[in-house]
Amino acid sequence: MVIPKLIPNWIDAQEQMVATSEKFPKLDPATGKLLCEVVRSKAADVEKAVQSSKKAQSAWAEVPPVQRGLMLHEIVLGMKNRQKEIAEIVAAETGKSYKDAYGETGGAIALGLFYASEGQRLYGRTTTSGTPNKYAMTVRMPLGVAGLIIAANTPIANVAWKVFPALICGNSAVLKAAENTPATAWIFGEIAKEAGLPPGVLNIIQGYGEEAGAPLVAHPDVAVVSFTGSTEVGRIIQRVAGERFARVSLELGGKNPLVVCDDADLDNAVKWTLLSAFSNAGQRCASGSRIIIFEEVYEAFRDRLVEKTKQLKIGTADDDDLGPIINESQLQNMIAAVAKAKAAGATILIGGDRFSSPGFYMAPTLLENVDPQAEISQCELFGPIAILYRVKDFEEALALANDSPYGLTASIHTRSLHRAVRFCDKVRSGVVVVNAGTYGSEPHMPFGGLKQSGNGTREPGTEALDVYSELKDVYINIDPSQL
């Protein structure tokens, strides 16, 4: 694995430094030591990237979608050839195990393959007209330059989720890498260049959100902003990009409920609660952080869960269950939130503090006796922390599941078809799962949330094509007298 000492931007298929020569450090979350430095882009660098993408876009849009798909397929093959290398970089930057990083890279490849094939479809619609001798259809048009801003939690998957659908639709793109995972975006840029993607079709800028992300969001030449990140930043983006009527797609946070009914298979429920709450150290928008348990099985479930949590292995090896938090400041936020909940009367069943130092490890944490209205119940923590709530029946469980500003994913554990179907029907979330975890994203399926988890768009799946393309109605009139 080769991570450059200083991660550059990719502009016009060239590695480029920034105008100010400023840089910032990227630390290894597993050790706290310097992994590399990163160029610190500002508005002038963003401007350069946007102008390059703007210039490249019209020629890219002229390439027939099938050919665009073949080009993306070349990138997919490049990713496949270098899967090991990508996974090593993802593991080094995030602290997740190589095995998990390799799996994530496989997911990104599958997603690329899906969108490469979309070049052969990219369906519009033909329909009837109310007027004789008139033919009506819709076709998909690119929007122009797409501004793509991503989070660090699953870095190669996040790059793929945005870049492939944006490009297949005929847009060019400026990707703002997550500041905590710069090298993953960098290697993707290298693979895209090697695959022969025309210069400027994808530019990648490195830097902090307010310095490099904000100018992209505000830029008048950026027609669509697609963002994966926190609700707090999503709110700013919605406002700024909305002001100039740019299209906005927001994939935001979650505080996802997992309900354990009195008729659940408790072993299965424990297994999926552990995975939902603690995999990727809880740094998943879909993580299960509110565990809602029927009172009849509360103690039995809680005791098994705590026992199994004790057995979790923490570290970066392939047989470890969870790794570190992405940076020290996120870790400190979590420790403070748990301490505040404790001071307000919460019981810490296990964890609650830093696991070890060096490295940014948070011990897997379970809390009970927490008010559902308390800040820790209502706000996303994005770490390995889950709260257990006791409810008396299905109706109370459903009401509590829905009592959240978020609505991303949800899960129910029950043997009852009636409870399962009712829950799927009534829970206010974009994804719902029966008898497994708060997981839910496959390349061909639309993912997204209600309420403060998003703005109603869905990515990936064919639904993402609606984010990255404009519909045009085409009417063709013929004159039968000319036949």
Q: Which stretch binds ligand NAD (CB under 6 A): 20-28, 151-159, 183-191, 469-477?
A: 151-159
193 binds ligand NAD (CB under 6 A): no
166 binds ligand NAD (CB under 6 A): no
380 binds ligand NAD (CB under 6 A): yes
Dig out the tokens for 470 from the structure: 């404009």
153 binds ligand NAD (CB under 6 A): yes
CA 330 from centre of chain: 17
The binding track of 440-479 with respect to ligand NAD, each residue x by CB under 6 A or -, is ----------------------------------------
294 binds ligand NAD (CB under 6 A): no
Considering beta carbons, is residue 29 or 69 the nearer one to ligand NAD? 29
Respond yes or no: is residue 424 known to be catalytic.
Answer: no
DSSP-derived pairing of the beta strands 256-260 and 288-294: parallel
Q: Which helix (H) or strand (E) holds 135?
A: strand 134-142
C-alpha distance from residue 89 to each of 29, 83, 92, 95, 181 (Å): 13, 10, 5, 10, 9
179 binds ligand NAD (CB under 6 A): yes
Respond yes or no: is residue 251 known to be catalytic.
Answer: yes
Q: Rounded to the nearest 5°, which phi and psi values hold at 107?
A: -65, -40
159 binds ligand NAD (CB under 6 A): no
Number of Cβ within a 10 Å radius of residue 458? 19
150 binds ligand NAD (CB under 6 A): yes
Using the rule CB under 6 A, which residue among 69, 170, 189, 254 binds ligand NAD? 254
Q: Which stretch binds ligand NAD (CB under 6 A): 231-239, 338-346, 349-357, 396-404?
A: 231-239
CB 288 within 8 A of CB 246: no
276 binds ligand NAD (CB under 6 A): no
Residue type, 268: N
Using the rule CB under 6 A, which residue among 31, 117, 138, 230 binds ligand NAD? 230
228 binds ligand NAD (CB under 6 A): yes
| CA pair distance 433, 276, nearest whole angstrom | 12
Q: How far is the CB of 163 from ligand NAD (least distance, A)?
A: 14
| CA pair distance 170, 470, nearest whole angstrom | 11
| CA pair distance 350, 363, nearest whole angstrom | 8
233 binds ligand NAD (CB under 6 A): yes
Q: How far is the CB of 6 from ligand NAD (least distance, A)?
A: 18
Q: How far is the CB of 451 from ligand NAD (least distance, A)?
A: 12
Catalytic entry in 88, 104, 211, 251: 251
281 binds ligand NAD (CB under 6 A): no
Q: Which helix (H) or strand (E) holds 347?
A: strand 347-350
214 binds ligand NAD (CB under 6 A): yes
Cis-peptide, bond into residue 358, ω within 30° of zero: yes
117 binds ligand NAD (CB under 6 A): no
Count how many residues are written for the chain: 483
Using the rule CB under 6 A, which residue among 209, 323, 352, 461 binds ligand NAD? 209
400 binds ligand NAD (CB under 6 A): no
Q: How far is the CB of 330 from ligand NAD (least distance, A)?
A: 7
Nearest to 459 by CA among 164, 210, 125: 164
CA 32 from centre of chain: 24
Q: Rounded to the nearest 5°, which phi and psi values hold at 368?
A: -140, 180
| CA pair distance 461, 454, nearest whole angstrom | 16
Nearest to 475 by CA among 169, 140, 142, 128: 128
Binding residues for ligand NAD, rule: CB under 6 A, are 149-153, 176, 178-179, 208-210, 213-214, 217, 228-230, 233, 236-237, 251-254, 285, 380, 382, 408
Which positions are catalytic?
Answer: 251, 285
